[in-house]
Structure 1
C-alpha cells in the first residue's frame, strides 16, 4: 500500500494519496497515533488525506469497516534553513548559476527570486545550485527555498542592469596618471571595475549615476574607458586622452 508523497512538513498540511485495495468506506487515516484530516475516498483503491503535525518517522494506517491496515512509513521533514548565497547579485537577464548553503535542503523543489521560481539542483542536504531566472526589474528581491518541510525566507539577491557611461570630467590628463576623473552614467552603483585602456583604475561609487576614478599611467593618445558590473560592461571609446609632458 504505497503513499505519495511519503514525506512532508513537521507542521502538517501535506496532502497525501494512499493506494491499495478494499479502501471503500474508509473511516479513518492515522499518522502514528494522530488522525489525518480531510480524508476522502477517491475510489476503492485510493484515499487522500492531509497529514497532521509530527516528527520523525511514523506509520500511516487506514481503517475501514473491515479493519485496519498494516502501517506504511511517512517521514516528517523540518523546514529548511538557509545560511548564505554563493553570489548575492547578478544580471537582470538571469541565467547565471549560484549556490545556496544551509541545512535541510535535500528535498528542495523550488527556489523563488522575488516570486519568480526556478528548479534547483540538490548537491547535498547542505547545498544546492540554481540558475537564476530573469528578474522583473533591477534591485533587491527576497529569496526563498521550498522543500518537503516547508518554505524558508531570509536572504536577498540583487538584480543588476548593465552600466552605461555618458560622460567623463575631465577628459584628459598626463601620461603619468593620477588624474581624478568623475564618470557619469547609469547603473553605476554595482560597479566591479574601471579600466583606462585596459589598465585597472582605483575607483569609488558615489551613487547610481556617478563614479570617481583615478587614472593609472598610460600612453599618449586616446584611451577607452570601460566600466564593468555583474551584468556586463560599457565602453566609452576614446573617452580619455593621455597627454605627454613637455620635453626640453
Structure 2
C-alpha cells in the first residue's frame, strides 16, 4: 500500500502560505551599542529573535505586526538587522555602529563625604550603553538614565579630588573633578553659653567647616551663620530652653558628632537680701539668695557696683555693699543670661543722740528715759553702758527706753541702728540719800 499526502478535508479551502517578515525602515540607522532602534515593516507577529549581524538583541518589544523596538547589542561597523519569526527570517537592513566617545560636562554634586554613598548625577553626551563609571580608579554602581544622563553612587574615597569617567562602547570619557571632603569636626564654642532668648554671636571652631550648609543648636537651626574659614563659623543661636544642647554643623561631607555643647542659661532671680539695710558708708556684708546666680558677673546696689562679691553657689552670692546715699536702692545680680529682679536695700544714715530726759535715775532702774536725736527709725537696740534696755521707737527723732538696773555712777547711753551706733550720752545712776 502506498502512502499519499493527506488531502484537505472535504469542504476546506487551501492553506494560506506563510509569509516571511520584511523590514522596510530602521530608525535610527546608526548609533552606539545600547541604543533603542525602531523597525518598521510587515509580518512581525510572533517574532522570536532579532539579530544585529550575528549577535542577537537581548531586549526587544513587538508593538504590532508592523513595528518592533530593539536594543542594539555590542558591535562594530555596519551590520544587517534581521527579524526571525514562525514564517522565517526577514530581509536584512543596514545598521551602522558609531563609536562616538562619551563626554561628561557636569557632576552634581561635585563633592561629597569620604564615606561615599551619595548619589551623583553625571550629565553629558553619548552616554548610552555605559558599561562603567569610575571615581578615580574605583568603580561605582550606576544607572544609565538616558543618552545624556547617568546617576552613580559615589564609592568611599580619600579626602581630595578625583577624576570621574564613564566608559561606553564608544570609549572612555575625559574625567571631571569630584572632591571627597574630609568629615567636619567641631572643637569649641566662644562663648559656650548665653541667654534663653538667644541672639548673641557665637564663634564655632573646628576643622573642614568650609561649605557648611546648616548649623543647629539642639533641634533648632541657628538664626544665621557665616562660614569665616575652614576652621571657623560665626553663628547666632536661636532661642532655647535653659540647659545644655549639642551644636552640630552640617557640610557636604556630613554632620559633626554633636559632642560640643552650648548652655542656655536661666535668667537670674533674687529672693532675699540679708541684711536689707546698712550704713551709707557701705562695707556691709549682704547675703543674696535666689537662683541662676552661678555665672554672676556683677552685683549692683542701685547703679553702683558692689565693693566686692563672691559666687558661693547657683543659689547664693555674698556681696559687700558700696557706699551710698541715704534711701532705698535695688540690689541686682548680672549674669550672661541677663539681670535679675531687684530687691530693696536701704542705706541708713548714722544715728545721732542729742539729749536724754531725765539723764539720771536710781540704780534699780525701771524709770523711763526719752532719747532725742535723728536717724533713729531703724534702731535695733538701746544700751545703758553696754546693758540692753527695753525701748520703743516713737519717731525718727524720739525713742523711749526703760533704764536697766546697774551700779551707781555714770554710764554712756547709745542707740544702735543698721546705720551705725550713736555717740554716747551720759546717764547717771544716783543712789538714794542715806543709802
Indicate the TM-score class for this superposition, using the shorter chain for normalisation.
Answer: 0.7 to 0.9
| 1:153-180 Cα deviation digits (max 9, x unpaired) | 3322100132222322221112222222
TM-score w.r.t. the length of structure 2 is 0.52
- Kept in 2, the 8 Å contact 1:108–1:120? The answer is no
Identify the match of residue 195 of structure 1 among 300, 309, 314: 300
Q: Does residue 104 in structure 1 map to residue 200 in structure 2?
A: no
Residue pairs, 1:124-163, within 5 angstroms:
124-135=229-240, 137-153=241-257, 154-163=259-268
Residue pairs, 1:11-30, within 5 angstroms:
11-30=115-134
Partners of 1:126 and 1:58 in 2: how far apart? 24
- Kept in 2, the 8 Å contact 1:190–1:230? The answer is yes
Greater length-normalized contact order (CA 8 Å, ≥ 6 residues apart): 1
Q: Which residue of 2 aligns with 1:83?
A: 187
Greater mean alpha carbon deviation, residues 116-125 or residues 84-93: 116-125
Identify the match of residue 242 of structure 1 among 321, 344, 347: 347
- 3-state DSSP class of the match of 1:188? coil
CA apart distance, 1:240? 0.4
Identify the match of residue 35 of structure 1 among 135, 139, 155: 139
Identify the match of residue 155 of structure 2 among 32, 46, 52: 52
- 3-state DSSP class of the match of 2:156? coil
- 3-state DSSP class of the match of 1:20? strand
Partners of 2:146 and 2:332 in 1: how far apart? 67
TM-score w.r.t. the length of structure 1 is 0.88
Query: RMSD of the alignment, in Å?
Result: 2.1
- Kept in 2, the 8 Å contact 1:173–1:242? The answer is yes
When Rg is computed on C-alpha atoms for both structures, the one with the higher figure is 2
4+ residue runs of structure 1 moved beyond 6 angstroms? none
CA apart distance, 1:108? 1.5
- 3-state DSSP class of the match of 1:120? strand
- 3-state DSSP class of the match of 1:58? strand
Q: Which residue of 1 aligns with 2:324?
A: 218
CA apart distance, 1:82? 2.8
Q: How many residue pairs end up in the alignment? A: 245
Consecutive unaligned residues of structure 2, counting only runs of 5 or more, are 1-104, 353-422, 424-435
Partners of 1:233 and 1:206 in 2: how far apart? 18
CA apart distance, 1:212? 2.4
Partners of 2:280 and 2:112 in 1: how far apart? 67
Identify the match of residue 208 of structure 1 among 300, 303, 314: 314
Residue 133 to residue 47, structure 1, CA distance change in 2 (3 Å): farther
- 3-state DSSP class of the match of 1:235? coil
CA apart distance, 1:190? 2.6
Consecutive unaligned residues of structure 1, counting only runs of 5 or more, are none
CA apart distance, 1:11? 2.3
Partners of 2:192 and 2:204 in 1: how far apart? 10
| 1:135-163 Cα deviation digits (max 9, x unpaired) | 2x211112222222332233221001322
